[in-house]
Structure 1
């Protein structure tokens, strides 16, 4: 049977529980333990795919096409694993499955209830996702006391009853620092643990989130009122980078505690590569200004994986990418603002819909004409083709049919298999696809291989009927999807660095394994 670490949160959301979970996984992985992670989201949506970025941040895409919570990105980056769509469980999935089973008669005429039918489905999915791993982390999203959480807390309680000490509970909660007195206030954490115990769950350990390191008196008070030994109380206070958190918790004895409590083989941790990465990340010798042009720039979490991918590449080059956020809506009002920013590189970001797209196209034009190193991702690639068609090829009104269905020159159009799609959720071109790279191109020099496997999330693509004209004008296709003839990478020969991808390279970037297109962008920026 699997060993499970169930992580709950209290007091308030958004305090970094996902980073703590990923850090716990990293600590175990450093000891040679095979680790998996599951994120439970109590919302009724089946997945995160139809959510507005302003409401939920980035949609992370798994190799098998799951549209998931952004915490799965943290898990993959910290654990260096590829997770499945089954690693994100939502209330919508659970209720949909239970109702479908009831309609098929699988409950044999029973009255279908929250307990046991819904909780059994939750347990089944957790155990299924945990198969084949030494330890699986299960993060229950939200905060204790949310009514949406109740079925998941009940399922977790039952798992502890059924699996005994192979289930470990860790509670993560904020301890605020009162500015007026300089005193840590543990009462909110005490109340969240009391609420958790009301549902039949006693935490085995507590991770205190705080602005600064908590004092010994606060630790003693937390232990007294939560019934958790002081040796099982850990502190994740604010640090210069989230990648330092595993090292912080390791120094406090988290790794030894987990090994002892779960009965794992004791092994010395191997954090050398991680320490080296954190050192390079936090003390770079150089810096470059990277323009980030998009329509959701007020909420950087909408581009979280791209931000992290740039950090990974920067650490490898002993360079800090300093991000300059460019609101494409504002660029539409005043394109001249681009000339005042002084960026060393430009990234035109993914997105959907018409708002702000002319500003994104202007960012492409600026990078092309001013010879600024450029990277376009997904929607950014499509708009790079539109800009080239308009301003180099001279096709007036060229556009994507997503943005202008009546465009006289649909250089980007709906992919053929998307034309009959009548539902939004889970219906895009999603997940891994093999990409063949054309030899003798910039892409070939970056990847150093004839093909790559990359993740996708899109409906529209370059219209192949325009390729001859685009190629004659100087645009080069340097990557093709292997299974069907689709444009995956474009570039401009003669430009210092101009490359764009239909796929999302950021989803496969890792702290010690940066993706080639991000490395190439920063190298070109350093040369400029």
Structure 2
């Protein structure tokens, strides 16, 4: 019988509920439990797929094709448990479901209300699609007091009563601000946050306090007294130098111990050897490489959260520190700006949408090709590399993408039909933007003798996609004559998945998003190989 842990947040956003949930999941795993992590998002969008990355951060894609919150990436990286569509729900999805039921007459003429109909739909989500997990960790997005989050808080309050104390636990994450001029931590914001939570009927049994300074015993007792907790249930969460040090830090503060105590579980101490090894490699690298990431959403680094972590994982695999130079692709459309790439050991052009900055990405790919600098193009980054090769090597000066208009040679075009399992998916220019891309895990067949076959070590791979445009297979022959090898194709041979340059130290473009499957304890092979090539490049400079 699954136990449920509900994690809420207060005072301010971005305190790290996602990391707290992921780290707790990892700790419970290390104690021998099977876990699943879920995110309840209060915003009205159906999913984050149509949100600007500079507002919401990256869109994380699951194997089954869900566009989800970036916190699901944290969950996977810390636990290795693949996320599913059923692990992220939004207010938009809940209300869409309720309204659809009302239109069908499922409510038998009843007046449809937030309570019980909306809250029942939320509870269905929380309790649904569960296998044999021991723990379901549910993070509630936003902060206590947000009007959008009230139905979710009411739903988990009801679940707390229905499941009982033996199957439900409430954890509240809050902030203890340090006032430098006064030289002390302030507990009042936390007290007010807990009071706000209690006003909707939820009493947190564990309080996780983010803080820059250690909490002394007097302050701990004061917080416990005012928040109706045992002092041991007030967990200090100091800043750490690596997110992968969070599981160890939380364990030493007693978070997982309190969870086990609440549920009356007498189990072994967690084995954190893997996490200690990861942190040791992060803290004590043998060297450093610099990777230039040429993107269009660099004003908010969370736009590339999984990418940044995957590069770190590649560094862990090679025992080096990866320094990332975030470069706005638009600057490369100016004369002389290419000098920003002179000192990097590798160039990565990530995914993206729209024409803005595309010519800068093409120039970055050209620089990498001409200067023999390791190049890694992901999704849009692969498409721009193919356009650059078509213009510079294959004799198509008018090469471009139909995403931006009507080029003379549409090297990249709208993907209108593809196969998913036994079903043919079709789209056109009039299709809705949300959820209409090629999404989720698809197979790819690697070419014999290719670099990527050596990297993966197996001929058929599966990777996650999120794109609406595709390299035009009709230009394959001309491009391959120019030296650009199509080294990975869809099983039917119709969709280009991977390209590479044979006469280059390391030049690979992929249509999928390998960063979504990389983990600190299991770095993705492409990122491992890319950072290895960057290490070799650093020795030549």
Q: Which bracket does the TM-score occupy, shorter chain normalised? A: over 0.9
The 1:484/1:126 distance shift into structure 2, 3 A limit, reads farther
TM superposition shift of 1:439: 1.5
Q: Which residue of 2 aligns with 1:90?
A: 90
TM superposition shift of 1:267: 2.0
- CA RMSD in angstroms comes to 1.2
Q: Which residue of 2 aligns with 1:527?
A: 536
Q: Which residue of 2 aligns with 1:517?
A: 526
- Asked whether the 8 Å contact 2:247–2:275 carries over to 1, the reply is no
Q: Is 1:370 aligned to residue 371 of structure 2?
A: yes
Q: Which residue of 2 aligns with 1:503?
A: 512
TM superposition shift of 1:338: 3.0
| Greater shift in the superposed pair: 213-222 or 107-116 | 213-222
Q: Which residue of 1 aligns with 2:197?
A: 196
For residues 504 and 107 of structure 1, what CA distance do their matches in structure 2 show? 42
For residues 235 and 505 of structure 1, what CA distance do their matches in structure 2 show? 35
Q: Which residue of 2 aligns with 1:429?
A: 438
For residues 231 and 451 of structure 2, what CA distance do their matches in structure 1 show? 56
Structure 1 gap segments, 5+ residues each: none
TM superposition shift of 1:257: 1.7
Tell me the secondary structure at the aligned position of residue 202 of structure 1: coil
User: TM-score scaled to structure 1, two decimals?
Assistant: 0.98
For residues 225 and 483 of structure 1, what CA distance do their matches in structure 2 show? 64
For residues 125 and 232 of structure 2, what CA distance do their matches in structure 1 show? 32
The 1:420/1:297 distance shift into structure 2, 3 A limit, reads closer
Q: Which residue of 1 aligns with 2:13?
A: 13
What are the equivalent positions in structure 2 for 1:279-294 lying under 5 Å apart?
279-294=280-295
The 1:391/1:335 distance shift into structure 2, 3 A limit, reads farther
Tell me the secondary structure at the aligned position of residue 402 of structure 1: helix
- Asked whether the 8 Å contact 1:169–1:204 carries over to 2, the reply is yes
For residues 332 and 507 of structure 2, what CA distance do their matches in structure 1 show? 21
Q: Is 1:154 aligned to residue 163 of structure 2?
A: no
The 1:414/1:162 distance shift into structure 2, 3 A limit, reads same
TM superposition shift of 1:54: 1.0
Tell me the secondary structure at the aligned position of residue 49 of structure 1: helix
What are the equivalent positions in structure 2 for 1:126-525 lying under 5 Å apart?
126-165=126-165, 166-264=167-265, 266-338=267-339, 341-403=342-404, 405-417=405-417, 418-419=427-428, 422-483=431-492, 485-525=494-534
Q: 1:9-38, CA deviations, whole angstroms, 9 ceiling, x for partnerless residues?
A: 000001111111111111101011111011
User: TM-score scaled to structure 2, two decimals?
Assistant: 0.96
TM superposition shift of 1:213: 2.2
Q: Which residue of 1 aligns with 2:79?
A: 79
For residues 441 and 334 of structure 2, what CA distance do their matches in structure 1 show? 38
For residues 336 and 458 of structure 1, what CA distance do their matches in structure 2 show? 29
Q: 1:143-188, CA deviations, whole angstroms, 9 ceiling, x for partnerless residues?
A: 0000111101000110011000111000000110001022000100
Tell me the secondary structure at the aligned position of residue 122 of structure 2: helix
| Greater shift in the superposed pair: 246-255 or 100-109 | 246-255
Tell me the secondary structure at the aligned position of residue 413 of structure 1: strand
TM superposition shift of 1:421: 5.4
Q: Which residue of 1 aligns with 2:424?
A: none
- Asked whether the 8 Å contact 1:2–1:127 carries over to 2, the reply is no
| Greater shift in the superposed pair: 248-257 or 75-84 | 248-257
Q: 1:267-295, CA deviations, whole angstroms, 9 ceiling, x for partnerless residues?
A: 23111011101110122111000000011
Q: Which residue of 2 aligns with 1:114?
A: 114
The 1:146/1:19 distance shift into structure 2, 3 A limit, reads same
Q: 1:108-157, CA deviations, whole angstroms, 9 ceiling, x for partnerless residues?
A: 11111111111001001100044431100110000000011110100011
For residues 340 and 443 of structure 1, what CA distance do their matches in structure 2 show? 25
For residues 218 and 209 of structure 2, what CA distance do their matches in structure 1 show? 14
- Asked whether the 8 Å contact 1:434–1:483 carries over to 2, the reply is no
TM superposition shift of 1:228: 1.1
The 1:255/1:60 distance shift into structure 2, 3 A limit, reads same
Structure 2 gap segments, 5+ residues each: 418-426
Query: What is the count of residue pairs matched by the alignment?
Result: 527
